[in-house]
Amino acid sequence: MNELLAKIASKTATVAVVGLGYVGLPTVRAFHDAGFRVIGFDIDQTKIDKLRRGEAYLKHLGTDWVRALAGSSRFQPTSAPADLAAADAIILCVPTPLGEHREPDLSFVEKSTEMVASTLRRGQLIILTSTSYPGTTRGVCKPILDRRGLACGTDYFLAFSPEREDPGRPGVQTRTIPRLVGGVDEPSARVAEALLAAAVERVIPVDSAEIAESAKLLENIYRAVNIALVNELKPVLAAMGIDIWKVIDAAATKPFGFQPFYPGPGLGGHCIPIDPFYLTWRAREFGHVTRFIELAGEINSRMPHQVVDAVARALDESGKTVKGASVLVIGLAYKPDIDDIRESPAAEIITLLAGMGARIAYHDPHIPRFPRMRKYQHDLCSVDLTQQNIAAADCVVIVTNHSGVDYVLLGEHARLIVDTRNAMSAVKNPRARIVRA
């Protein structure tokens, strides 16, 4: 342990990051900027080739630093598992999706841990960052690593430190986001804290890996439940002729005891739509039913259907049906001003509308072509937001409120707009009929 701590303190340790996506690539940046030699591993050779050429594939991170990374003698992008043997610390940043029945899919965690175990040597630190149920680090990763015949806490070290990335948030980087860390034992916790503190401004140690795992779930369950609350209130208040957006703004003037959350077309991203179900699944193993969390999941999951129902009603009031209607969807990304479509409600809304016979077009300045997804496949490309394209649509559906969209132009030339994000509220006297959903 002391040898590894000395390497970390002198920044002569080599840090490997497994998985170079929305969590892994910013992690590479943080440790490289801190002065460490970094190995970036991914099974996707396309990513490796782009990094070697200095080409950015995550637009919200910018391009200049990727070019600089490609020219650095302290960065090695690779798809060869054997290269991980040279690392003193290995950080796992791999996906933890849900299965068909909302059960945890830990296949990426298991396979990456098995890969690390194949070259595990004395003195290495392994940190899992992927969100999962409490007990994953100790109960899933550790047994796989132990098969190497090395003892955790003396021969190698194992900890959990949940990622807290928020793609596209201005002024926020991995380095500036406070980081939790919990080890499976005291030596592992100490070494992991030292490593993270060398690259992150504030590190908060907790008593165990299980506490760190649970804290991450609580963070995202808190958001999911509160979003579900306003999603449920939205149609209730609308039936009373009350604008929920104005209600939230009014409540947010209270300086304590209230945090504003906003309704929308459904949850997206890699955390909130998925993470709560990891705890509900684990809870059942211990004989508990998490009714509150599951209810929030049901409310949020049906929001795309509510949007489609609102589109159908709005078209019907205009003397049209969904079948044969031309629908222009604004925004594919799950949140504004990024190119991330993971779990985006736009994909479900497009699929539902297309299934009802609508002719779909979309505009997203960040996503030129509908990407291949696990559940959705559409042969669509983003259309220009022109007067002609807007006027040709029977209905415009605002799913993502990108700042680069000309909402004044929409209000001037659209006939009908179904607005799920309150994006049209700033447009004065639009000619279009606006329906909030």
Q: What is the rounded (10 degree) CA torsion for 176, 46, 89, 72?
A: -70
Tokens describing residue 150: 């090395």
Task: Determine the Cα angle at 362 with ends 386 and 354, to 5°.
Answer: 135
The one catalytic residue among 93, 141, 271, 395: 271
Whether residue 141 lies in the annotated active site: no
CB 162 within 8 A of CB 180: yes
CA-based Rg of the chain, rounded to a whole angstrom?
A: 24
From residue 77, alpha-carbon distances to 48, 62, 74, 173, 400 in Å are 6, 18, 10, 21, 34
Q: Report how far Cα 106 is from the mean position of its chain's Cα atoms.
A: 17
Q: Residue 322 gets which letter from DSSP? A: S
User: Quick one: which of 122, 14, 8 has its CA closest to 78?
Assistant: 14
Max CA separation in the chain (angstroms): 75
CB 123 within 8 A of CB 3: yes
Enumerate the β-bridge partners of residue 92: 18, 128
Q: What is the rounded (10 degree) CA torsion for 85, 86, 88, 92?
A: -60
Give the 3-state secondary structure of residue 397. Answer: strand
Token pair 């779990």: residue:
343
- Rounded Cα distance, 264 and 277, in Å: 20
Number of neighbours of residue 238 by Cβ within 10 angstroms: 14
From residue 159, alpha-carbon distances to 31, 77, 165, 169, 371 in Å are 17, 24, 18, 27, 34
Give the 3-state secondary structure of residue 262. Answer: coil
Number of DSSP helices (H) and strands (E) in the chain, helices first: 16, 13
Known catalytic residues? 271
